[in-house]
Amino acid sequence: MLVTGLSRRGFFAAGAALAASLVTAGCGVANGNSSDRILEPPRAGADQATTPARLPIATVSPDAVAAKHAGQSPKAWGMDLDGIITGFNATGKQFAVTFDACGGPGNNDIDENLLAFLQAQRIPATLFLNKRWIDANPARAGQLAANPLFEIGNHGTAHCPLSVNGRAAYEIGGTASAQAAVDEVWGNHQRIIALTGHAPRFFRAGTAHYDDVAVSIVRELGETPVGFSVNADFGATASSGQVQSNMMTAESGGISLAHMHRPKSGTGAGMLAALPALAAKGFEFVHLP
Ligand SMILES: [Zn+2]
């Protein structure tokens, strides 16, 4: 991990509110299947500011990944384990914004005002879409996937904490085996290939929690687990003023986490205030490299 954000402390301070939000986002039953699929590795020279990188073709066997890790016992748990990126090597004052769409009952809305602002201001973003959200909004998801300003990341199939032994986060039960963790990643991996025509590069688990075995599983499936250095909206429970002040702690090479499925939260207004203010301080918004 390259960057540790000061604002992560705020994450824990707001734990109760975050938990309340994430509980409603839930974790259903993962139902991805594990047939072999084709992955693509990074294309050099993509115009990072306007077009997310794509991946050249490689093969991966989800069944082999699940078998390799079957029965393993995790040794670590959290949001910033080794193997989870929480920052990137920046050129100057670069910063990456990410927005999650958690999906499921009550969580399938979209903050159109926020997305319109990103488009009008040409601010690139990684949108971590859960499979349930995509399935509830297939046409809109297709439009977002077709816009080179946005890169589509994998926010899981059923929005589960990614575990191999069922460990919970905020009382949301995690996936309970290596196979279930593989399915949680792969079900939406396949859905995103159908949506975008290429494999997602990045993954963020529901609740952003993992154990160390699950982090290895994500990487062996060809995706990079993405954490954050700025917890901008505390699970879409923060006021607009809190979102703004959280974002103003941004440092070069950092990654913000906020949500795009809660149009009535303070997230959109806070971002509309904070992003121009960061730009005025010299920040350039970029896709994750
Ligand atoms: Zn989520």
- Taking only the tens place, the pLDDT of each residue in 33-77 is 333 333 333 343 444 445 666 655 457 899 999 999 999 999 999
Q: What separation in Å is there between the alpha carbon of 61 and the centre of ligand 1?
A: 26
| CATH class of the 9-26+64-285 domain in this structure | alpha beta
Q: What separation in Å is there between the alpha carbon of 159 and the centre of ligand 1?
A: 6
Q: What separation in Å is there between the alpha carbon of 221 and the centre of ligand 1?
A: 20
Q: How far is CA 78 from CA 5, 71, 157, 167, in A?
A: 15, 20, 20, 11
- Which tens digit of pLDDT belongs to each residue from 73-131? 999 999 999 999 999 999 999 999 999 999 999 999 999 999 999 999 999 999 999 99
pLDDT at 55: 58
Q: What separation in Å is there between the alpha carbon of 93 and the centre of ligand 1?
A: 27
Q: What separation in Å is there between the alpha carbon of 109 and the centre of ligand 1?
A: 13
pLDDT above 90 for 231: yes
Which residue reads 């896709």 in tokens? 287
Name the amino acid, one letter, at 149: L
Q: What separation in Å is there between the alpha carbon of 217 and the centre of ligand 1?
A: 19
Distance between CA 109 and CA 86 in Å, rounded? 27
* Contact between 222 and 55 (Cβ < 8 Å): yes
* Contact between 154 and 204 (Cβ < 8 Å): yes
pLDDT at 50: 58
pLDDT at 27: 80
* 284 beta partners: 94
pLDDT at 150: 98
pLDDT above 70 for 268: yes
Which residue reads 């949001």 in tokens? 79
pLDDT at 59: 79
Q: What separation in Å is there between the alpha carbon of 155 and the centre of ligand 1?
A: 7
pLDDT above 70 for 244: yes
Q: What separation in Å is there between the alpha carbon of 18 and the centre of ligand 1?
A: 11
* Contact between 29 and 250 (Cβ < 8 Å): no
- Which tens digit of pLDDT belongs to each residue from 129-178? 999 999 999 999 999 999 999 999 999 999 999 999 999 999 999 999 99
* Contact between 215 and 169 (Cβ < 8 Å): no
Strands 224-225 and 202-203: parallel
If you average pLDDT over residues 229-238, what whole number do you get? Answer: 97
Q: What separation in Å is there between the alpha carbon of 22 and the centre of ligand 1?
A: 7
Q: What are 170-175's contacts with CB under 8 Å, separation 24+?
A: 170/15, 170/18, 170/19, 170/22, 170/23, 170/207, 171/19, 171/23, 172/22, 172/23, 172/25, 172/26, 172/27, 172/206, 172/207, 173/27, 174/27, 174/209, 174/211, 175/30, 175/214
- Which tens digit of pLDDT belongs to each residue from 189-202? 999 999 999 999 99
Distance between CA 90 and CA 131 in Å, rounded? 30
Q: What separation in Å is there between the alpha carbon of 121 and the centre of ligand 1?
A: 25
Q: What separation in Å is there between the alpha carbon of 278 and the centre of ligand 1?
A: 25
Q: What separation in Å is there between the alpha carbon of 248 and the centre of ligand 1?
A: 22
**What's the pLDDT band for 26 if we cut at 50, 70, 90?**
confident
Encoded tokens for 44: 């050099």
Q: What separation in Å is there between the alpha carbon of 211 and the centre of ligand 1?
A: 17
Q: What separation in Å is there between the alpha carbon of 79 and the centre of ligand 1?
A: 13
Q: What separation in Å is there between the alpha carbon of 160 and the centre of ligand 1?
A: 9
Q: What separation in Å is there between the alpha carbon of 251 and the centre of ligand 1?
A: 23
* Contact between 186 and 34 (Cβ < 8 Å): yes
Instruction: Say what angle helices 178-196 and 138-146 make with each other, to 10 degrees.
Output: 70
pLDDT at 19: 43
Q: What separation in Å is there between the alpha carbon of 23 and the centre of ligand 1?
A: 10
Distance between CA 10 and CA 245 in Å, rounded? 11
Q: What separation in Å is there between the alpha carbon of 45 and the centre of ligand 1?
A: 31
